[in-house]
Structure 1
Amino acid sequence: MSEGCVRTELKLTAQPSAAMGSAQEPEDLDSQAEMVADTVLEVGERLFQVSRRALSLHSRYFEAMFFGGTRESSEHHIVIRGIDAAPFQALLEFTHTAQVLIGQENVTSLLETADFFQFDKVKLLCEKFLERELHVSNCLGLMAYSQHFAFIELHASAMNVALTHWGDVMSQEEFKALPKETLMQFLKSDDLFVPREDVVFDSIMMWIMEDPETRERDFLDLVAEVRVAFLSLSFLDILVKRSKRPGQADTFSRLIRRLDSCPPPSWQNVTLCPYTSRSYDTLYVLGGKRDKEQQELFLFQPKTGTWQACSPLQRRNLTQYAVAAVGNLQSCNSSDASNWD
């Protein structure tokens, strides 16, 4: 797990569902396991006395092994290779208590073991734990991890963290190793959250420059997802000047010249470009009691629903308050500004 995350250990309980039936109640399983422990499983050089029935109620793997007509269905000592004893013991205890202790130290081994033995409830609890641990520093890794285990909710949550913290995510080492298809998925999204569309272009260049020999051919496909209508004029001016410099042989200049000579359709016809800006929508609110020497100033970002305190405005508020939305300042008269704090 990421070093930036707080170390966490949680005891999680599986909630009974209609599909599980009353046989899944912890008390019933405990009594069953004690009465009908009928098989020895050798896992990681340890021996475990187990109940076939209790294991089969939780695991499709053991249901097929014990009641599917396999060779093991008639054996009473079964060796399972390639599995560590500790996570298997945690799964075995889960069949008695419907609880499992999950922490950063064991979540990976527990999840992989639960996946191998098809303990679906434990897999779900591991997924919930990983959702709690989501952070900018690990969201790309957890996206890939969630795809391997078909964790739809974890994948969506991890992707949302990446989309809403793109400026931080693009500086991560895992960003440089993203497959083109995953990067394209981000670039196409309306939910990509950036201060300026310029950042989207920069992220493409950063990804290509990590391995220019193999990634240059993807440049025009990727840059077609940049919403050119929302690039800043100063940024476009830089691109134009780079494209006109004679004798520049570096990768960046070469790609800009290629863009200039063969722009994607969305760069040639802005009507083909999405109309939605992905840059920050911001709301500035200032106010305070009448005749104060400075006024409080706050920044609100509607996309994330967060408020941020800014440096106070060094002037008195006599008769007015003001709101600035996305850079457009509006001033409104207030008949009683002293009551608005």
Structure 2
Amino acid sequence: MWYKETMEEEIGEKKETRDVRLEYEAYRKEFSKKLHQLRSDDEFCDIDIQVGRQTFRAHKIILAAGSSYFSAMFCSGMMEDHADVVTLYDIDPKIFSVLLDFIYLGEIDVTEENCQDLMYVADMIDLLPVVTACVTFLKDNIQPYNCIGIHKCADTPNLQELRLYAEDYIETNFNKITKEEEFLELPSTEVITWLKSETINIISEIEVLDAALYWTEQNIEDRLTILPKLLDCVRFPVLNHSQMQELFSKHVKSRKVVSAVRTYLRTCDILSNDIRSFPRKSSTRSIYVIGGFNRAKNGRWSDAISLKTVVKYDTFKRQWENVHSISCPRSKHAAVSLNRKIYVVGGEDDLLMYNNLEIYNLQTGIWTEGPAMSVPRSGFGLCACDGKIYAFGGWVGSVLGDNVEVYDQKIGHWVTDSVIPHPKFACGVVEMDGMIYIVGGTETESSTEMTTCDSFNPVTKEWTELQNMNVRRSDLALVALDGFIYAVGGYNEYDRELSTVERYSPEENTWTMISPMSERRTAPSAVGLNGLLYAIGGSKRMVDNPYTAPVTLESVECYDPLTDIWTELPPLPVGRSEAAAVVL
């Protein structure tokens, strides 16, 4: 509503006026309700909308104002312009009733039960606000069990944003999705499309072969003849024999399927320049080693130099290369990979302790600053679980941190989550199957190293004491790989630097010693990738003298659990210890 307001003061003989705009939201709502009531009372209605067996009375002018679909129908000289009845096909009357109420009232409830039907009809009759609300709802509630259905229903121009979002979700969570009913019920042509994709996010090509076998096993009689076409999508040259044998043992009940794969391998011929001879662009095949410290042979304790350099190891090419450095030198920090990004936080350099977070974007190759932890931490444990990043213990200034700090991307900052029963530093932390494991470390600066193993449930916040390790370890590396947890190297006062490695089975709650590394390593970096365990760098004393400063190691070796053998790999460009390592 507009009106003229007369000013109190006068300028000469003239009175100054100004325009004021008033908006009455309550009036708008009441006006909409009255229009809706007129429709309910069949007052001034001039059109019947036939949907299935149900007829809806309405006003042409309201429908035309609320939807460009009805505007084109009633205002463009079409035959419906003069019709008393219009029929809409392939629409659920209940869904149309909800949308008709929205046109009059501007209000709607989007639920899991009605969302996709609402979106389909709203897109058809061009109710873009409802389409937008449904797209937002589906993006917020997308899960491995429903993402393929969401992708398939988003097949119109107005839904391209949702289709691309669902496609990205499917590719990012490919391994989880291939076990869901929606994927297993896909026709072979669509399965082949996904298996061929260059951009599916996989740790190993074995996941693609597993998906092909699992899909075939759901209906062996009808699908076995299609299996060779699925196998054409698998990049067999990048797989190793041990991986395939282990996978075949998991599918032992489907002998026909395994036999068909073996027959295919005997007859197929993949040329060296075939795209199938190379890993997929988005496969996890690189190890990033970040920061740490370097001390040369015969160096003094004070000669340690913190590093800000980052190196990447391509496991396919078996080559190291430098990538963009982090902003500041740091050691005793921690890092995780999450959603195709690397998060590096905490650590120290000389007497300076950090709480800042740096994030590496794989696509841009650039590090950016992220939200800092509430307190500086050094020598702490870090892992990612269910889209969140958890930091455990470590030194907080001159005291041990007794809490768990969590970074949630949705919130955008760190929060204190729970209390640690036994604060410690230099421990190993890893996530597996939704549980977080905290192993070894030292409780106080003067105490001996620990053998303890505890699990933390991030949902219930409960701690559970598990079977202790066989060897006391501090400054160890902890890795989850194919259902087991590996404690790699470390240090204890009796054995000093350790070459021993032991493996924990959560299912059996037991620790088992495996073959030792060729090098003794304190504070090594370690990761699991493509069924192999990688041990990188670390430090050790070159002479048996506790007063001699340890030197940092360039050596790298990997362990194959199927053969129980360690193999030497190309060394680091520069030796480093207390570094962080992730796979991406």
TM-score interval (norm. to shorter): 0.5 to 0.7
Report if the CA contact (8 A) 1:32-1:54 is conserved: no
- The residue type paired with residue 296 of structure 1 is C
Q: Which residue of 2 aligns with 1:71?
A: 79
Q: Which residue of 2 aligns with 1:258?
A: 264
Alpha-carbon deviations, 1:13-65, whole Å to 9, x = none?
xxxxxxxxxxxxx9599599689965233456354332x23322443431232
Q: Which residue of 2 aligns with 1:323?
A: 525
Report if the CA contact (8 A) 1:295-1:312 is conserved: no
Report if the CA contact (8 A) 2:235-2:276 is conserved: no
Alignment of 1:146-185 (within 5 A): 146-147=154-155, 151-185=159-193
Q: Which residue of 1 aligns with 2:428?
A: 297
Report if the CA contact (8 A) 2:184-2:215 is conserved: yes
Report if the CA contact (8 A) 2:69-2:125 is conserved: yes
Q: Distance in 2 between matches of 1:99 and 1:82?
A: 24
Query: What fraction of aligned residue pairs are identical, expressed as a percent?
Result: 20
1:177: Cα distance to partner? 1.9
- The 3 A distance-change label for structure 1 pair 219 and 45 is closer
- The 3 A distance-change label for structure 1 pair 124 and 198 is same
Report if the CA contact (8 A) 2:213-2:257 is conserved: no
1:136: Cα distance to partner? 0.9
More strand per residue: 1 or 2?
2
- The 3 A distance-change label for structure 1 pair 86 and 262 is closer
1:148: Cα distance to partner? 6.6
Alignment of 1:203-222 (within 5 A): 203-222=211-230
1:85: Cα distance to partner? 4.4
Alignment of 1:64-143 (within 5 A): 64-76=72-84, 78=86, 83-143=91-151
The one of 21, 36, 39 equivalent to 2:46 is 39
Report if the CA contact (8 A) 1:192-1:278 is conserved: yes
Once the two structures are overlaid, the 10-residue window that deviates more, 289-298 or 320-329, is 289-298
More helix per residue: 1 or 2?
1
RMSD between superposed Cα atoms in Å: 4.3
Report if the CA contact (8 A) 2:238-2:277 is conserved: no
- The 3 A distance-change label for structure 1 pair 282 and 152 is farther
Q: Which residue of 1 aligns with 2:569?
A: none
Report if the CA contact (8 A) 1:187-1:200 is conserved: yes
- The 3 A distance-change label for structure 1 pair 251 and 77 is closer
Question: Normalising by structure 2, what TM-score?
Answer: 0.42
- The 3 A distance-change label for structure 1 pair 150 and 274 is farther
Q: Distance in 1 between matches of 2:136 and 2:247?
A: 45
The one of 283, 306, 310 equivalent to 2:437 is 310
Alignment of 1:193-212 (within 5 A): 193-212=201-220
Q: Distance in 2 between matches of 1:150 and 1:49?
A: 26
- The 3 A distance-change label for structure 1 pair 148 and 78 is closer
Greater relative contact order (Cα 8 A, min sep 6): structure 1 or 2? 1
Q: Which residue of 1 aligns with 2:283?
A: 278
Q: Distance in 1 between matches of 2:150 and 2:128?
A: 19
Alpha-carbon deviations, 1:231-275, whole Å to 9, x = none?
13303457999xxxxxx9834313421331233x25x65675234
Q: Distance in 1 between matches of 2:134 and 2:195?
A: 29
Bigger-Rg structure (1/2): 2
Unmatched segments (≥5 aa) in structure 2: 1-26, 289-333, 336-378, 381-393, 401-422, 442-472, 476-490, 492-496, 498-521, 540-550, 553-577, 579-584
- The 3 A distance-change label for structure 1 pair 270 and 84 is closer
Q: Which residue of 2 aligns with 1:245?
A: none
Q: Distance in 1 between matches of 2:113 and 2:202?
A: 34
Q: Which residue of 2 aligns with 1:244?
A: none
SS of structure 2 residue aligned to 1:118: coil
Alpha-carbon deviations, 1:265-304, whole Å to 9, x = none?
25x6567523447247677767434998763334599xxx
Q: Distance in 2 between matches of 1:271 and 1:108?
A: 38
Report if the CA contact (8 A) 1:27-1:96 is conserved: no
Q: Distance in 2 between matches of 1:78 and 1:205?
A: 51
Once the two structures are overlaid, the 10-residue window that deviates more, 180-189 or 32-41, is 32-41
1:107: Cα distance to partner? 1.6
- The residue type paired with residue 437 of structure 2 is C
Q: Distance in 2 between matches of 1:189 and 1:42?
A: 45
- The residue type paired with residue 104 of structure 1 is E
Q: Distance in 1 between matches of 2:424 and 2:56?
A: 76
- The residue type paired with residue 316 of structure 1 is S
Q: Distance in 1 between matches of 2:81 and 2:275?
A: 66
Q: Distance in 1 between matches of 2:196 and 2:526?
A: 29
Q: Distance in 1 between matches of 2:261 and 2:109?
A: 52
Alpha-carbon deviations, 1:190-238, whole Å to 9, x = none?
4323343212111112223334455444434332332334313303457
1:101: Cα distance to partner? 1.9
Q: Which residue of 2 aligns with 1:21?
A: none
Q: Which residue of 1 aligns with 2:63?
A: 55
Report if the CA contact (8 A) 2:49-2:55 is conserved: yes
Alpha-carbon deviations, 1:132-186, whole Å to 9, x = none?
1200111122222223786222222222232222332121122222233322332
Report if the CA contact (8 A) 2:96-2:121 is conserved: yes
SS of structure 2 residue aligned to 1:208: helix
Q: Distance in 1 between matches of 2:165 and 2:134?
A: 14
Q: Distance in 1 between matches of 2:118 and 2:199?
A: 33
Q: Which residue of 2 aligns with 1:12?
A: none
